Structure 1
Amino acid sequence: MDKQGAPRREQARRLEILWLLKKRGSISVLELAEYFGITKAAIRKHLDVLQKDRYIDANIRRKQMGRPTFVYRLTPAADKFFPSHYDGLAIEMMDDIDCLFGNSFVDKLFERRMERSAQKYRKEMAGKEFEERLLTLAKLQDEDGYMVKVEKRKDGLYLLEEANCPISHIAVRYRQACRCELIMFAALLDAHVERTECIADGNRKCRYLVREKMGETDGLGRP
Structure 2
Amino acid sequence: MKSRLLKKFAKSQKYQILSEIKRSQGLSVSELCERINLSYMGVKQHCVSLEKDGYLDTWRRPKGMGRPEKAYRLTNQAQEFFPTEYTNLTLEILESIRQVYGEAAPEKILYQIYQNLIQSVASRITGVTLEEKARSLAAYRESEGYMSEFYHHPDNGQYYIIEYNSPVLALADRYKIVPQMEEQLFEQALGVKVLRQTERVSGLYKCVFTLQP
TM-score range, shorter chain: 0.7 to 0.9
Tell me how far 1:19 sits from its aligned partner: 1.0
Q: Which runs of 5+ in 2 are unaligned?
A: 1-7
Counterpart for residue 123 of structure 2: 123
Q: What amino acid maps onto 2:197 in structure 1?
A: T
Tell me how far 1:126 sits from its aligned partner: 5.1
Q: CA RMSD in A?
A: 2.2
> TM-score when scaled to structure 2?
0.87
When residues 198 and 38 of structure 1 are mapped into structure 2, their CA distance, relative to the original with a 3 A threshold, is closer
Counterpart for residue 217 of structure 1: none
Describe the SS at the equivalent of 1:205.
Answer: strand
Structure with the bigger RCO (C-alpha within 8 Å, sep 6+) is 2
Instruction: Tell me which moved more, 62-71 or 176-185.
Output: 62-71
In structure 1, C-alpha distance between the alignment counterparts of 2:10 and 2:133, rounded to whole Å: 38
Instruction: Count residues in correspondence.
Output: 203
When residues 207 and 9 of structure 1 are mapped into structure 2, their CA distance, relative to the original with a 3 A threshold, is closer
Tell me how far 1:38 sits from its aligned partner: 2.4
CA contact (8 A) 1:185 1:193 kept: yes
> TM-score when scaled to structure 1?
0.83
Counterpart for residue 90 of structure 1: 90
CA contact (8 A) 1:193 1:211 kept: yes
In structure 1, C-alpha distance between the alignment counterparts of 2:69 and 2:127, rounded to whole Å: 48
Counterpart for residue 148 of structure 2: 148
Matched, 1:188 2:189: yes
CA contact (8 A) 1:98 1:106 kept: yes
Tell me how far 1:204 sits from its aligned partner: 1.9
In structure 2, C-alpha distance between the alignment counterparts of 1:149 and 1:209, rounded to whole Å: 12
When residues 46 and 203 of structure 1 are mapped into structure 2, their CA distance, relative to the original with a 3 A threshold, is closer
Tell me how far 1:62 sits from its aligned partner: 1.3
In structure 1, C-alpha distance between the alignment counterparts of 2:102 and 2:116, rounded to whole Å: 22
Percent of aligned positions that are identical: 29
When residues 205 and 50 of structure 1 are mapped into structure 2, their CA distance, relative to the original with a 3 A threshold, is same
Q: Of the two, which has the highest radius of gyration?
A: 1
CA contact (8 A) 2:61 2:69 kept: yes
Tell me how far 1:152 sits from its aligned partner: 0.7
Tell me how far 1:105 sits from its aligned partner: 2.9
